[in-house]
Structure 1
């Protein structure tokens, strides 16, 4: 009887499992069912969180005294975050970006589940989009912790979703050859794919420690 192994969302059963599965002659690249389903469901989770944030933001604009349901305590307070300049970086509510981006990702995931395959430029565009999302998310994390001094649970759901989508999209692109990798890099990719869960767990642990440290003066009063 063998021990169960973790499922890797970046795995692509339709192609060799190695990192040197380069698409021949620029042929369209598909994705395995696990990654396709992960992309679709992850996008739906991000879309749902963005929709709730958008609804609460609109309610605040209509009624400045409105208190969102996720206002739990002085630290976990969506309203405190939504009323800041950082919540409208580009002149409109940030959740609208989530509605558009996650909606598009859900469509891509649905297409992959239906058997669609996309050319290399499309996958590189998806890689760039998720990379920009990760950069933006970490800027928002910095602002929430050290400038605003409050956390929004739905925002944290979006943070985690974006990081996971970026990570597994990167693994998929490396494994299928969309992002070229030399011999040494292929070894690294194979090991990263084998322990694909390690980086997300490490990221979550670091963010948790930063939150614990930043708001320790409040958490300590609950002990």
Structure 2
């Protein structure tokens, strides 16, 4: 059995579709937050359209220190980052076999994005005490993107891993969504428990 990692990898069509959809959703959230940020600068005394109640607020997130992790508004980072999965998804649907290192770098980049959104979710829920609706969309987009990508990349050789782990990941390459769903459920349950002022129907599946 050949256990060497391939030099070029063609991803399955389902992954291409997933990357495009989640990239577009993340880009929508980042763009909407960027627009709201500009609106807040132009009209500082007016409520934003996504300020639904004290527990669901965009302006609070935008004006917080956590809203500018790298010294500029976080949504601008999303505007720069989310085109990447859209491009990768389009190349995948075009059946382009990309070099292994491209998938490795992309997967690591998604890991960085996941670490950031997990930290932002923790800060929003437990420190700030509210949830930004557009931020919530970005969080879910990252959850949906990350785990299916990583499980597939491990199995296909896009990420370095022992042969046994690669073989196991290859068998379950299309089931990464289960981990994404589990994390999304944990997020929703945590919000409902920690922020009881949020109406339950907003998170009814």
Q: What TM-score, normalized to structure 2?
A: 0.88
- The answer as to whether partners of 1:30 and 1:112 remain within 8 angstroms in 2 is yes
1:102 and 2:79 are equivalent in the alignment: no
The residue that corresponds to 2:195 in the other structure is 215
Number of residues paired by the alignment? 199
The residue that corresponds to 2:105 in the other structure is 125
The residue that corresponds to 2:67 in the other structure is 87
Alignment of 1:1-223 (within 5 A): 22-23=5-6, 26=7, 28-186=8-166, 188-190=168-170, 192-193=172-173, 195-216=175-196, 218-219=197-198
- The answer as to whether partners of 1:60 and 1:66 remain within 8 angstroms in 2 is yes
> Over alpha carbons, which structure has the higher Rg?
1
Q: Any gaps of 5 or more consecutive residues in structure 2?
A: none
Assess, with a 3 A threshold, how the Cα gap between structure 1 residues 122 and 57 changes in structure 2: closer, same or farther: same
Question: In 2, distance between residues paired with 1:190 and 1:31?
Answer: 12
Question: In 2, distance between residues paired with 1:219 and 1:160?
Answer: 18
Assess, with a 3 A threshold, how the Cα gap between structure 1 residues 114 and 103 changes in structure 2: closer, same or farther: same
- The answer as to whether partners of 2:25 and 2:141 remain within 8 angstroms in 1 is yes
Question: In 1, distance between residues paired with 2:66 and 2:127?
Answer: 9
RMSD (Å), alpha carbons: 2.2
Structure number with the bigger relative contact order (C-alpha 8 A, sep ≥ 6) is 1
